[in-house]
Structure 1
Amino acid sequence: MSTQNLLVLATGGTIAGAADSATRHDYRPGQIGIDDFLSRVEELGIEANLTGKQIANIGSEDMSPEIWSDLHKATAAAISDPSCDGIIITHGTDTVEETAFMLDVTLPTTKPVVLVGAMRPATAVGYDGLRNFANAMRVASDPQAAGRGVLVVMGDRVFASRDIRKNRTRGTDAFAGFPRDAVGLVTPSALDWFGAPWRSDESARFDFRTDLPDVPVLFIHAGITPDYVDRLVTPETRGIIVCGVGEGNMPDPVRQRLFELCNESLSIVRASRLGEGLVDREPEDDANGFVAARALGPAKARILLQLLIAAGISEPGAIQIQFDRR
């Protein structure tokens, strides 16, 4: 394979973080600029032509629609550039699954797009950032990475954006996939895919939008009452994601209030607060007008519902079709 031309879009995060000591737990994300970071990558001697662009330098808890917009524009331009073979995005781990999913449903699948982060800052003992980045280079350089949607590389594993979830606060094995686990295994010297691409040459499923509607997340817990619902709803609210117990469950009084709001043209999607679990449709969903999130957790379900409403799709059956897609 010829030397690949890769664009690196940097947004900060722990992979660009630093602390005053190699053994301190507290650190500051987004301290290393893209030029400095790529100079460290060059010392690895991996064959690729890297070009860097700083989009932001933040902890990913501060990711915003404005940064998403800049990131989407830069990624879309690179996909359209015939001289670019693949795109790598460095990102904090806290919201990487949301950014990956947003890009996944608003970009075509004609070139590899790979997000990568680290669980330890660059100054820490056992820094995982350079290995993860070397793995991301391997994935982004492989033409077979195209057609799999936006991917995330962490801890020698490749995840599809629809599946990936951060399920630990510490350790380099903090990520898992559901309902599929990793779709590939990668090291700086090898890459193995589990199956063929499933989205070859697809156009973007949705237009990227900056005017997304208000869709809050309702966290269900013991003792919750219907007034919790009303505290979330404003005149601008267009839908609600229910972060339910078990398989998207909620107390009957809360369900009744959401049914009333559904009749007032709000879209209601039932997701689960569990890390792993499918939310299937139940008989009451037809009567209530609710949608089952299936394998999407609340954060990704929120993004998908926002995009659907912005695209003028509000009928529950049509929304359900989109949540059922792989």
Structure 2
Amino acid sequence: MTKPTASPASCRQRRTSVLAIPLLSFALWSGSIGVAAQAAEPGKDGATGNLPRILVLATGGTIAGQADPRATGAYKSGQITGEQLMQSVPGLDKLAKLNAEQISSIGSQDMNDKVWFALARRIQEAFDKNEADGVVITHGTDTLEETAFFLDNVVRGDKPVVIVGSMRPATAVSADGPGNLYQAVQVAADPRARGRGVMAVLNDKIQGARSVTKTNTTSIETFSSPNDGPVGYVDTAGGIRFMTQAAGFKRATYKLPAGEQLPRVAIVYSHANMDAIPIEDAISHGAKGIVLAGVGDGNTSKPALDALEAAAKKGIIVVRSTRVRSGFVTRNVEVDDDKNGFVVSEDLNPQKARVLTQLLIVGGVTAPAELQKAFTATW
């Protein structure tokens, strides 16, 4: 498992010096932000100095990336600190009182349980001790949706947690990171953001943690919520528009295990001419659960289904999800879930179904009927 580059002790030390970042993209972008900062609506009255307190937790990612000479458009993730990012975005100080801490400096392809636990514990501590009115997390986009969903299931309270990233590195001519970070702070500072769980803010949209997913490899228009749509929109000049009222804080939260690792749950991808080997391999490597990224409505070949049924009989949790971008997986339509002891993921894609399965195993929930209730709890 990849370890974060900062220890828990060093994570909490606020940096006292900030390196200047002479980036063309930041200079170009800052030319239009002055008016935007005046028109935006911070969470509290900035004229009285009573600004909301926002804790920024940096993990690395493309938003903190710098150019690499190996190829046109190449870059290295996690090269710029959270403090440097904040100092490079004019107008943030008009939205909130900001404090930055570096949790890790990695690309999100290397995101791991240890960083997840460090984030969850630091956020909970900040809320429990009333250190912050909201949290913004800077993160790579590859696994942003998984981190958002994990935190949404373990962080208690109704204060906003906003996760933000970018599709282009900080050194790109048209970097999207500065605008995304500004809007993320804007949302976290807005009192209407309370009670909505963890949200992702990118490209002028606010997405819920359960539904948001990355849909394109390179486009800045990559994040969407195929089943639900955005929960709101951000206009840097015009303010924030939530599409629905906060329904109250009713989501379930799960406890973290004592250590720094979640149980092993494998994702098995279904395809034409599939056999049982990937499932048998997952079992041989100690998987406590298996999530099927099935075809269509979470289906797969007969050999694979037979192997999954055998796994369920051994006490391994089997969850049927789908490799299809949108839609719900429905019980007992194409597959006899009741007979086989399977769980269906409903609207959760395979990567989020895996996270929820891990948390349920930690919580001692292993009976198929109880597992299914957890997957359908919000519906």
Does TM, scored on the shorter chain, surpass 0.5?
yes
1:289 aligns with 2:289: no
1:300 aligns with 2:349: no
Larger CA deviation: 78-87 vs 202-211: 202-211
Residue number among 198, 206, 214 corresponding to 1:150 in the alignment: 198
Q: Is the 8 A contact 1:100 1:152 kept in 2?
A: yes
1:67 aligns with 2:119: no
TM-fit CA distance, 1:199: 3.9
> What is the match of residue 32 of structure 1?
80
> What is the match of residue 261 of structure 1?
311
> What is the match of residue 284 of structure 2?
234
Q: Is the 8 A contact 1:178 1:295 kept in 2?
A: no
**CA shift in 2, pair 1:173/1:123, >3 Å:** same
TM-fit CA distance, 1:227: 2.4
Q: Is the 8 A contact 1:213 1:236 kept in 2?
A: no
Residue number among 247, 252, 272 corresponding to 1:222 in the alignment: 272
> What is the match of residue 243 of structure 2?
194
Q: Deviations over 1:8-55 (max 9, x none)?
A: 00001111111057x931111111112211211246663321100000
> What is the match of residue 126 of structure 1?
174
| In structure 1, distance between residues paired with 2:214 and 2:126 | 28
Residue aligned with 1:300, SS: helix
> What is the match of residue 313 of structure 1?
365
AA aligned to 2:267 is V
TM-fit CA distance, 1:75: 0.9
Residue aligned with 1:233, SS: helix
TM-fit CA distance, 1:117: 0.4
| In structure 2, distance between residues paired with 1:72 and 1:216 | 23
Structure 1 unaligned segments of length 5 or more: list them.
none
AA aligned to 1:313 is V
Q: Percent identity?
A: 38
TM-fit CA distance, 1:206: 0.3
AA aligned to 1:59 is G
AA aligned to 2:330 is D
1:47 aligns with 2:95: yes
> What is the match of residue 30 of structure 2?
none
AA aligned to 1:262 is A
Q: Deviations over 1:230-249 (max 9, x none)?
A: 11213632110001011101
| In structure 1, distance between residues paired with 2:245 and 2:59 | 30
AA aligned to 1:309 is I
AA aligned to 2:345 is A
| In structure 2, distance between residues paired with 1:20 and 1:203 | 42
Residue number among 120, 123, 127 corresponding to 1:79 in the alignment: 127
1:180 aligns with 2:231: no
1:248 aligns with 2:313: no
CA RMSD of aligned residues (A): 1.7
Scaled by the length of structure 1, what TM-score is found?
0.95
| In structure 2, distance between residues paired with 1:232 and 1:294 | 23
Scaled by the length of structure 2, what TM-score is found?
0.82
Residue aligned with 1:216, SS: strand
Structure 1 or 2, whichever has the larger Rg, is 2
Q: Deviations over 1:193-239 (max 9, x none)?
A: 01111342x57610023342211111111111122311121363211
> What is the match of residue 323 of structure 1?
375
TM-fit CA distance, 1:132: 0.5
Residue number among 137, 143, 151 corresponding to 2:185 in the alignment: 137
| In structure 2, distance between residues paired with 1:148 and 1:109 | 10
Q: Is the 8 A contact 1:10 1:57 kept in 2?
A: yes
1:169 aligns with 2:217: yes
AA aligned to 1:154 is L
Q: Deviations over 1:63-101 (max 9, x none)?
A: 111111111111111112324111000000000000000
| In structure 2, distance between residues paired with 1:49 and 1:250 | 52
| In structure 2, distance between residues paired with 1:289 and 1:122 | 48
TM-fit CA distance, 1:325: 2.2
